[in-house]
Chain A
Amino acid sequence: AQRVTQPEKLLSVFKGAPVELKCNYSYSGSPELFWYVQYSRQRLQLLLRHISRESIKGFTADLNKGETSFHLKKPFAQEEDSAMYYCALTDSWGKLQFGAGTQVVVTP
């Protein structure tokens, strides 16, 4: 069965410090993985797709098939990064399955 695991419910970091959000997955095929961000009571926004290999707002994520991980990283956190972050994968139907989410709080 496919599953997305985000072990950290809350991550509190200081402004300027590095931040890493963990995401592990289990999927029988070749998954497509995403990170979504949700600012307070707003719609989810796509942050990253693993196939595009791009960096958005300073965030990067590398798919590690050996460790079945897709951790999200940013070297220097900013206050505006405070939000809820969801790791997700799509199944063969294109349906997104989300992890439980990690709330990031960046303090000055």
Chain B
Amino acid sequence: NAGVMQNPRHLVRRRGQEARLRCSPVKGHSHVYWYRQLPEEGLKFMVYLQKENIIDESGMPKERFSAEFPKEGPSILRIQQVVRGDSAAYFCASSPGQISGNTIYFGEGSWLTVV
């Protein structure tokens, strides 16, 4: 009974390349959240997705960032044309539903380094 699985755990990209981060939620969970943790800063909400729907993307930068959670397969956070400021830990979390009180489970994070 695996928890939230994120890969890769560590990713190094040169400026201008693309980064793709994958998140497989807990089996049976239909809600996925992405958070970003910048060095020396806290966790910032990025996007909330359900299967095939973006529910809330208020924390996503307007450009270069996109996220999806297809009917089949993991959720993907995609960063195009990465810059040094994108270097951060990206955490995915999942929950079984939107009812307040459901516990949210976190993955171990993907550490992106842009060189």
Among B35, B43, B111, the most chain A Cβ lie within 10 Å of the Cβ of B43
- The 8 Å CB contact of A98, one of B42, B48, B55, B100, is B42
Chain A residue nearest to B96 in the complex (CB): A94
Check B42 against A94 for contact (C-beta < 8 Å): no
Interface of A is mostly: loop
A28 at the interface (CB under 8 A from B): no
B90 at the interface (CB under 8 A from A): no
Q: Which of A14-22, A42-50, A64-72 contacts B (4 or more CB under 8 A)?
A: A42-50
With contact pairs A43-B91, A51-B101 given, residues A93 and B43 touching in the complex (Cβ less than 8 Å) = no
A32 at the interface (CB under 8 A from B): yes
Chain A residue nearest to B58 in the complex (CB): A95
A96 at the interface (CB under 8 A from B): yes
Check B91 against A44 for contact (C-beta < 8 Å): yes
The 8 A CB mask of A63-92 against B (1 = contact, 0 = none) is 000000000000000000000001000111
Q: Which of B62-70, B74-82, B102-110 contacts A (4 or more CB under 8 A)?
A: B102-110
- The 8 Å CB contact of A42, one of B43, B99, B101, B108, is B108
Among B56, B103, B104, the most chain A Cβ lie within 10 Å of the Cβ of B104
Among A43, A95, A98, A99, the most chain B Cβ lie within 10 Å of the Cβ of A95
Q: Across the interface, which residues of B come within 8 angstroms of A45, CB to CB? A: 106
Q: Across the interface, which residues of A come within 8 angstroms of B44, CB to CB? A: 98
B1 at the interface (CB under 8 A from A): no
Check B97 against A94 for contact (C-beta < 8 Å): yes
Q: How many residues of A contact B (CB 8 A)?
A: 24
Docked Cα-Cα span, A44 to B95, in Å, equals 14
With contact pairs A44-B91, A100-B41 given, residues A94 and B106 touching in the complex (Cβ less than 8 Å) = no
- The 8 Å CB contact of A95, one of B41, B42, B56, is B56
> Which residues of B does A touch, CB under 8 Å?
4, 31, 33, 35, 41-45, 48, 55-56, 89, 91, 93, 95, 97-104, 106-109, 111
Provide 25 A-B residue pairs closer than 8 Å at the C-beta atoms, listed in order of the A residue: A32-B101, A36-B106, A41-B109, A43-B106, A43-B108, A44-B43, A44-B93, A51-B101, A86-B42, A86-B43, A90-B100, A91-B100, A93-B56, A94-B31, A94-B97, A94-B98, A94-B102, A95-B48, A96-B33, A96-B45, A97-B45, A98-B44, A100-B41, A101-B42, A101-B43
